[in-house]
Structure formats: structure tokens, C-alpha cells
Chains A and B, each alone.
Chain A
Amino acid sequence: MTKANRCWRHICRLEEILEGTGVCAKVEGRQVAVFRLEGKLYALSNYDPFTRANVLSRGILGNRGERRYVASPLLKHRFDLETGECLDDAQVCIPTYAVRCERGEVWVGLLGRER
């Protein structure tokens, strides 16, 4: 069902995301959390499936070994920034999105129709 044509949506300027934190963007009706950590950008769903609230963009960023993650501000479940996997419960995984920065502007890429 997946089409390959990715469409990019402009989010904000890079300087609007403070190093070591995240913001939440509304993209095609979705809530996308965009994080900036050590020179890299990551985009995940903003929805914490454990608490059913849209709050992940407000979590603290950290690492466990090689894995970088965001810890939900509600009950502290941790989600891998690259893959969306939950580090505390292998059964749970949240959507991730493509993200890039061009000339100081941040873009999130959505597939034309996911799944």
C-alpha cells in the first residue's frame, strides 16, 4: 500500500528548536515531535501510547549506550529517537518520520499515504 513519493512540510526555523529539546508540529493532521540533539534532528509521533496524551515533545532527551531516546514527561517511558521503539516495553513502537534541515529551515517528510 505504501507509495514512495514523500512530501515535505515546512515546520519552523532551526533556531526555534533549542539544542537538547523538542517541539511539536502539526503536519497533515498529525502531531509530530521534532527533537534536536547533538547536531541531529529526529521526528517521532508526539503521542505517548501509555498515557494517551500528546506530550512526547516535552520529554527529556538522553542516551542509553548507543541508543538515543526521549523519556515521556508523564510516566517516563523511553522511546528510541531513531526507531520509535519503546525501551521499557518491547511490544510498543511509535511512528517515526523523516526530518531534514536546509538553510536553517526544518522540514518533516511524510509518505503520501502511510500504510
Chain B
Amino acid sequence: MTKRLVIIGNGMVGHKFIETLCSQPHDFTITTFCEEPHLAYDRVHLSRYFQSPRPNLGLADPETYRAWGVRVIHARAQAIDRTRRVVVASGCEVEYDLLVLATGSYPFVPPIEGRELEGCFVYRTLDDLARLEAYAGKARTGVVLGGGLLGLEAAGALQALGLKTHVVELAPRLLPQQVDELGGKHLFRYVKALGIEIHLGKTSKRIQGQKGRVVALEFADGGVLETDLVVFAAGVRPRDELARQAGLSIGERGGVVIDDYCRTSDPYIYAIGECAAHRGRTYGLVGPGYQMARVLAERLLGKESRFSGADTSTRLKLLGAEVASFGDAQAESPGATEVLYTDFARGLYKKLVFSEEGRLLGGILVGDTAAYPTLHGLLGERLEQPESLLLPSSAGSAPLPAKAQVCNCTGVARQQICEAVRAGARDLAALKQATQAGTGCGGCVPLLTEILQQELKALGEAVCHHICEHFPYSRAELFDIVRVMGYRTFEELLQGHGRGLGCEVCKPAVASILASLHNEYILKDELLPLQDTNDRFLANLQRDGTYSVVPRIPGGEITPDKLMAIASVAKKYGLYTKITGGQRIDLFGAHLHQLPQIWAELVAAGFESGHAYGKALRTVKSCVGDTWCRYGVQDSVGLAIRLENRYKGLRAPHKIKAAVSGCVRECAEAQSKDFGIIATERGWNLYVCGNGGMKPRHADLLAADLDEETLVRYIDRFLMFYIRTADRLQRTSVWLEKLEGGIEYLRQVIVEDKLGIGGELEAQMAQIIASYQDEWATTLQDPEKLKRFRHFVNSEEPDENIVRVEVRGQYRPAYDFERLTALPMNQGGAHD
């Protein structure tokens, strides 16, 4: 039996409820009332409406609702008839079996004289903003009443509209709900430096008007502030009038009373979000509303789920200022003590609140909130070194919590690693041996190294940046030595500046440096012993000793003929085929001796090496852009192809990934890449130093609205600067974190050419680009090199130890437990 479910209100919470419900099979017929002309949009980021190009804030769209079978009535619900179970709107009545109130809240306008004058605004809906924008065109000065979250948002909007902006707050500080007195002082300085005037502890008495329009704001103390418009941002009140009329229970301070299941006093009616009062409390935040939406959707899907109050911790960026507050931020718990860090010059304020037993109760962060996720996760824990979490992040990024898992393969936490270091494991090899961390996939080794260095530093031991025992230099220093001395081989460098024979750490690092500087064929006899196995065989070594092959597909654009060429190679050699995360095709399971034959066929079909095996540029991913997309504003495919061809083969301290998106929808996910580009209507925005992986990081905007030539010049400089100065295996994101001065400094170097090396970096890049060769095409020309592509030097047989199992119509290497039954015990020779 389908039930008729009606939702009044299509804001963020109403939409989240529908979305959660419709993500599962259900048997409701759903109708929602939506009073605004738009379906749900992102009210939290409303101020982005004033950005250019104007972003799409929409959360819901009519097609999706149609696909879900949700009927939308764009009308205001006027009454609820509980006896007939009907919602009455102008022009229609809708029957329900279950009703959900998601009516949200309305902006509170204090009962102040003059509030009806033309030029008074609230800040709540897209229509409010459109009206404000239209009026602001004729105005020069604006006043925001309210210095809370919404008030500062509105002040930023007025400034963006070009108005001289004032903020008036009744309390003695800004953000009175979120920060304390000292935090407020920091914010005050920051906001004032932006050119916004702030009036604290001020009671507004009257708005003065002339000819029906706002001209000034008069304070209770007699002062007068001339202004052309006033924006009310004095908080919100639950919209509970429908519920009141219908006779539902209402909380003491407003809001429809609900229980832990979001039920109102009528069992057929539920309420969620800002219109609801749970245990006497209303929430003016979207987070708790989302929780209620989820709880109710799960209840209706027949699952046990309840709402037991919500965390009101917040982390925000207001006018560019980072602010976070969590837990008992105001230290109201009995016996609470505080640890503070404050630095007015750098605009940093951090406070942690502890219980008497030393457990973390809450805190406030202003200016740098990087530690927020860590700290939030540590609520209720005892902290060994709280100061390490408060110090500015330039002194090293905030350490992970002790219990955080570092190596997912072996399940080793940070705590165990630190203990092993303290017990005497003072280098990476010893640490791996002691903890087993880093012995699985190896992906955590950079993090492991960082923890090792942090811990050594904490123990007061000198942290050694030497690349290994063979060279008393860091990678960046070695790079400079090779560049200045003009070395072209490892031997020259070792004789001049090192000792011993070298190792698996310094050899590939030097090979990479030589490639970045001279770009010679990497299989030259002098260079070959330095190469990691992948570079040595120009393919990716997989777990059973076979290789995978990735042809380059620039920008992800490929013709049917080329697809057929790949397909025929895969079929001929029995290769497992998979589309990679970077818009290419990976062919797995090639035996060493098959690589030349496979590549001969791929090269004949017009493919080049994809360098998937190297610490080199991998892909420049792209969305389809304005070639086909109805939203695209630029040719993202064309640019991605140009960039991928420009930088292909470029070797670097770590692999480099990039992407180009044709509009702000960001379908290419450019902000998670080493460099990412997003089209605007005026050009290209360049983002740098993002990454996915274990510690994901969003890229930073380096420069905006660039023309293509400037964009390419900046990328040239950026990549070469990174290649010159990064540590071995250091990703751009970590490199930027360690770069003194951060993104600002990087911008000075790349955009403003503060060091005067821009031309040199470009010239070096130009030389690398000019000397590009397809390594596979070159290798196929050289019979001597091809001799190395076989498993046995004295036999043409393949490795008999390779065992395959069929899965989903293809072959993969056997796992150990399968191998035991597949192989005779004495086979393989080396088992004895």
C-alpha cells in the first residue's frame, strides 16, 4: 500500500530528506510544497551569489525530482486540516497520510522604528539578494545590523557590491555565539583591515528616512550613522505559524515540539530542521537539520534511528577569515581550564578548553583552522602535548591523533610508530622493521617519514635531511649541485659529492634529477642501472612480476580506431583491461618479453608511452567542455590535450596529475590535482598543489581569469620551481605545506617573479619540451635494448611461476591461497 507523503518546505533540509528517502526503494507517493520559485539551494553559501561568474547554488533540479517521482507544488501552504489530513494552499488541497514540516525559519527583524522604509532588507533568500543587489546599485553606504555569522556574510556581500560597509552589533564582540572576547578582538582587527567599519555594544534606536527611503541609523546613545540601506541580520526565528494554527505543541521559545523520532504532537505529522524544537532547543544550523532529515528518512524506511541532539561545532571561512569553534568553546563547564595561543601580528588565536582531568572539552580557532578536524575528533580525550596542536602550521602540520591509523595495510597507528622511534628505531628501515608499517603497499611511507622526523625533533635529535648514506645532501641540494656542475651521470656526482655505491633511494632520485635537467633517453647504458624497475622496462610492475601497459590518451579523447587498436592488443595478449582513474586504459598481465611486441603494435596504431610507470606527468584529465556540454564556457578538452602534450615525459620528484574543467561545475575534479584549471567566462583560473590520496588536499587558487598564454607560462614556472626545490617523493601539496610563506610566497615567485628566476624556469621547461622523445619508439629502434626484455637471459621461456585465475571474464594473478592448490610444491626452484 503506497502512502501519501507530503513535505511542506523545499529548503536544504527538506531536500536532504527527499534525497535520503529516494536513495532507497520505498513505497510513498511524495509531494513537496516549495514556496520559492527555485527548488532547494545552498543557503549556507548564499553570499557566493555575488561572485562572478555567478555560481549555481542549486541542490535540487526538476529532472531529478521527476526521475524520483516527486511532485512539486510551487505554492505556499496556508493551513493544515488535521481531521481531514489535508494541506490547504491557494488553489489546491493535498491529502496526506504522513506530513513533514520543513518550513525552516524566517529572518528576525527587531521591532525598530523605520524598519518598513524603502532600503531595509533581510538576508535569507535568493530573491532577497536580487532585491538588495538592485537597490545597492544606487547606494554608496550600507549598514548591517548584527555581527554574527549571517551579519558578517552580509557585510562581505555589501562590500562586494562596492558599498562602504558598517556592521552594528549589540554584544561587545563579533560572532558572540562562536568566539570569546580575545577571539572577537582578533576578528575585529581582521574585519577592520578589510575596510569594514565595526560598531560594537551599540543599540539601534531608529532608522531615519526621507521621502520613504532610508537615510541614516540612529543609536540609543544619540550617535547617527548616515547610510543608504540597512540589512537586518539579527538572527532567525522558527517558522511555526502553520503548526500553531493547526494546534500542534509549540516550544517555549518557538518551534514545533518533536521527539527523538522527529514526531510532533500529532502522530501523522513530523517536523525537521530549523522549524523544529527538540528537547526545548531549536538549531539555526544546517548540520542538525540534516541529521534530523536522515533520522526521519531512515525511520520511514523501517530502520531504527533516532535524533538525540546535535553538535553545534562550526568551521567557517567568513570574509576569508577562518574561524572554528567546537564543544564547550566558552569554557562554561565547572572547573574548565584553558590553553591559549595568540599572535596578533599573524592574526592567529587558538584556545583549547580542558576538564579538570585534562580531557579536551572544546576550543576556538581563529586565523588557522587546519587542526579543527583533528581536535574535533579528539573531544573527550586526554592530550599529551596540546601545544603541538596550537602552534602555527608552518612549524609542521598538526600531528595526527595518536590513534590515527597510518599504515592501513598492517593496521599500525601513529602511537605505535612514535613508540618505536622512542625505543630506538631512528631511520625508516628500522622503523619499518620494528612496526611493519610501510611494508604493505608502501603508500604511507611519506607520512611515516614525516612522523619519524617529528618524533626525532621532539626527542631533541637533529633531523637529518640527507637523502641517504651516500650523499650528505637533500634532494633540492643535489638538484642544484647537478645543475651548477653540469653533471650528466651518477658516477660524476658520486665521485664529486658522495661515497659508496649508491642505493635504491639515491639512484632513482638522481636519475630523475638528470632527466629533469637534460631529458636524455633514460635507457642509456650509464643511466639504466639507476632506474627503478618501472622506468627500466617502461611499464608498471605488478604484484606477480608481470607488467601493465598504459598508452597515452591526451585529455581522455580517443577515436574509435584507436579504441579498436587497444582492444585488439588486449585480446591478442590476453591482457586484463581496466579504465584508470585518469581517463586512460590500463592493460595488465604482460610478460616482460611481450612488452616490445605489444608496444610495436601500439606505436604503429599511433600511440605513445603514457609514462604511467614514471615519476612524471601522468594525465591531464578533462571534462567535455564547450565542445559538447551545454554549460561549458571554454574548450577544456583542447586545453587539456595541449597541456598534456606540452608536459608529457616531464620527470619530477613525484608523479604529477592535472585536470581542466570547462566550467565551475568542475566535472574534471581539477581542484584535487597538482595543477588544475577551471574555465571562467573571462579566461582560466589556475589552482595548484591539490591531491587525493591519504591526506587529501584541495588545491589553492594561484591566479584567476588568465589568458591561455599567461596560464601556460605560470604552469611552466610552477612545475619547474617544484621540480627544483621539492624533496624526493614529495607531492606538490606537501611541498607547499613546507614552503615558508605558503601560497602567498608561491604566488610572489610564480606570478610576480619576485626571485627574478621566471625566465630561467621557462627556458628550462622549453628545453625539456624541445627534447621530448617517445621512449618506446626509441627503444623499439634499438635491438640491443630489446634484448633486455626477456625473463631469462639464457632461455626464451616465460616465468613459470605466474598463475592466473579468471574473474568476470578476464584473468588476474592468483592469490596465495589459490596458488597452493594450483602449483606443485617443488616447482619454482627457489622455494627450497
Please report A residues at the B interface, Cβ cutoff 8 Å.
Answer: 10-12, 16-21, 23-26, 28-31, 34, 37-38, 45-47, 50-55, 58-65, 68, 71, 73-76, 78, 87-89, 94-95, 114-115
In Å, the complex CA distance between A88 and B439 comes to: 10
Q: Within the assembled complex, what's the spacing in Å between the Cα atoms of A61 and B433?
A: 20
B541 touches A55 (CB 8 A): yes
A40 to chain B, nearest CB (A): 11
Partner of B832, one of A31, A64, A88, A114: A114
Q: Is the CB of A47 within 8 A of B793?
A: no
User: In the complex, A8 Cα to B440 Cα: how many Å?
Assistant: 38
Instruction: List 17 extra interface pairs beyond A11-B793, A60-B530, CB under 8 A.
Output: A19-B529, A24-B791, A24-B793, A26-B797, A31-B799, A31-B828, A38-B501, A47-B829, A53-B801, A54-B545, A60-B503, A60-B508, A60-B529, A60-B532, A74-B543, A74-B545, A94-B830
What B residues does A54 contact at CB under 8 A? 545, 791, 799, 801, 828, 830
Q: Interface 1/0s, chain B 501-512, versus A by CB < 8 A?
A: 111110110000
Judge whether A45 and B830 touch: CB under 8 Å. Answer: yes
CB A72 to nearest CB in B, in angstroms, measures: 9
Across-interface contacts of A73 in B (CB, < 8 A): 532-533, 541
Q: List 17 A-B contacts (CB under 8 A).
A: A12-B793, A16-B787, A20-B528, A24-B792, A26-B794, A26-B797, A28-B829, A31-B799, A46-B830, A52-B816, A55-B545, A58-B536, A58-B541, A60-B529, A62-B501, A63-B502, A89-B433
User: When the two chains form their complex, are residues B792 and A25 in contact, meaning their CB atoms are under 8 A apart?
Assistant: yes
What are the nearest 5 A-B pairs in CB distance?
Answer: A62-B503, A20-B529, A30-B829, A47-B830, A73-B533
Residues of B within 8 A of A71 (CB): 503-504
In the assembled complex, the Cα of A47 lies from the Cα of B433 at a distance in Å of: 20
CB proximity to A under 8 Å, residues B420-447: 429, 432-433, 439-440, 442
Asked if B799 and A62 make an inter-chain contact with CB atoms under 8 angstroms apart, the answer reads: no
Name the contact of A47 in the complex, choosing from B439, B530, B831 (C-beta under 8 A). B831
Q: Which residue of B lies closest to A21 (CB)?
A: B529
Q: Does B500 touch A at the CB level, under 8 Å?
A: yes
Whole-angstrom CA separation of A30 from B502 in the bound complex: 29
**Cross-chain contact B439 with A75 (CB below 8 angstroms):** yes
Whole-angstrom distance from the CB of B818 to the nearest CB of chain A?
A: 12
B52 proximal to A (CB < 8 A): no
Whole-angstrom distance from the CB of B569 to the nearest CB of chain A? 23
Residues of A within 8 A of B828 (CB): 31, 47, 54
Listed residue (A12, A38, A54, A73) with the most chain B CB atoms within 10 angstroms of its CB: A54
Contact residues of B with A, CB < 8 Å?
429, 432-433, 439-440, 442, 469, 500-505, 507-508, 525, 528-530, 532-533, 536-537, 541, 543-545, 787, 791-795, 797, 799, 801, 816, 819, 828-832
On chain B, the residues within 8 Å of A63 by CB distance are: 500-503
With the chains together, A58 CA to B332 CA distance in Å?
64
Assembly CA distance A100 to B505 (angstroms): 29
- Nearest CB on B from A74, distance (A): 7
Residue in A26, A58, A68, A114 whose beta carbon sits within 8 Å of that of B533 in the complex: A58
The SS class assigned to the B binding surface is loop
Residues of A within 8 A of B537 (CB): 58
Residues of the B chain whose Cβ atoms lie less than 8 Å from the Cβ of A114: 832
Tell me the complex Cα distance, A63–B440, Å: 23
Contact A68 B794 (CB under 8 A): no
Question: Who on chain A is nearest to B536 by CB?
Answer: A58
CB of A11 to closest CB in B, whole Å = 5
Contact B529 A26 (CB under 8 A): no
On whether the beta carbons of A18 and B529 are closer than 8 Å, the reply is yes
B279 to nearest A CB, angstroms?
54
Contact A61:B501 (CB < 8 A) given known A26-B794, A74-B543: yes
| In the complex, chain A residues whose CB is within 8 Å of the CB of B440 | 75
Residues of B within 8 A of A30 (CB): 829-830
Cα A47 to Cα B819 in complex, Å, equals 15
Decide: A26 and B792 in contact? CB cutoff 8 A. yes
B507 touches A55 (CB 8 A): no
Given contacts A16-B787, A31-B830, contact A37 B501 (CB under 8 A): yes
Instruction: Give CA–CA (A93, B34) in the complex, Å.
Output: 72
Measured CB to CB, the closest approach of chain A to B625, in angstroms, equals: 40
Interface pair A12/B830, CB less than 8 Å apart: no
Question: Which residues of chain A are within 8 angstroms of B541 by Cβ–Cβ distance?
Answer: 55, 58, 73-74
